[in-house]
Amino acid sequence: MLIQAKDLPFRELNRQINAAGEQSVTLQGVMGQRFIASGLKGKDVEINGIPGNALGAYLDGAHITVRGNAQDATGDTMNEGSIRIYGRSGDATGYAMRGGSIYVQGDSGYRAGIHMKAYSAKYPVLVIGGAAGSFLGEYLAGGVIIVLGIGHEAEGKAPVGYFTGTGMYGGKIFLRSAHVPHDLPPQVDVREAAAQDREEAYAHVAQYCAYFGGDPHQLMEHRLLVLTPSEESSYKQLYCAQ
């Protein structure tokens, strides 16, 4: 089902998406409407144009495809489902997400994956094909963030900004990078990916390539770093029952 989004206020646009009788909904002419598909389940939504902030907030199982860039706070607190973006994403992508997956073909802004969390079967996945901005994985509590740095390999630095992993106390960050970020905080450990790590990362890299093209084996033939909170100095003792 096709919805012409041009000039529709966001509430009306979401009302039409919810009311659509078919599972598959295509939006044309989207221009900055916020909260698209928020809390949605059981539908596939394709977005043509520029979705506004908080795309797929509280998403609950729907699958979203963006044919273009996304703005800020994509997948804010999403619970289940998937968002794939054929372009770049703005700041705070995957903000506090607790399940499902977000795949960004290109770069992402500041604070990607801020305060993602995991519990039992809920394990959020955020994959960024290009480079991430500063404060990647800030306050990360669970789930996995993968930054592939495609196209940034020759920059002589990790494909991240400053202050990666600030306040991180759970979860895991993969960096496909020959370089360790120079300013990792003391409570974050960095190591080379072991066979088991590579196996975990490969599944998500293969999914990235299935979406956007590319050869996962070739992408994985590269130095891969794993960032985790260190056991000794982690904030875990502050926030988690021992």
Q: Which residues bind another protein (CB under 8 A)?
A: 10, 31-32, 34, 49-50, 52-53, 69, 71-72, 88, 90-91, 109-110, 133-135, 161-162, 182-183
Least distance between another protein and beta carbon 235 (Å) = 20
Least distance between another protein and beta carbon 148 (Å) = 18
CB-based burial, 71-99: b 16+ in 10 Å, e otherwise: bbbbbbbbbbbbbbbbebbbbbbbbbbbb
**What phi and psi values does residue 28 have, to the nearest 5 degrees?**
-110, 145
Q: Which is closer to another protein, CB of 100 or CB of 181?
A: 181
142 within 8 A of 118, measured Cβ to Cβ: yes
Least distance between another protein and beta carbon 55 (Å) = 12
Q: Which is closer to another protein, CB of 14 or CB of 71?
A: 71
Q: CA 78, CA 227: separation in Å to the nearest integer?
A: 23
- Give DSSP secondary structure letters for 185-239: -TTEEEEE--HHHHHHHHHHHHHHHHHH---HHHHHSS-EEEEEE-TTT-THHHH
Q: CA 120, CA 106: separation in Å to the nearest integer?
A: 30
Q: Which is closer to another protein, CB of 49 or CB of 143?
A: 49
Residue 108 three-state SS: strand
Q: Which is closer to another protein, CB of 134 or CB of 233?
A: 134
Least distance between another protein and beta carbon 34 (Å) = 6
Q: Which is closer to another protein, CB of 100 or CB of 137?
A: 137
Least distance between another protein and beta carbon 84 (Å) = 18
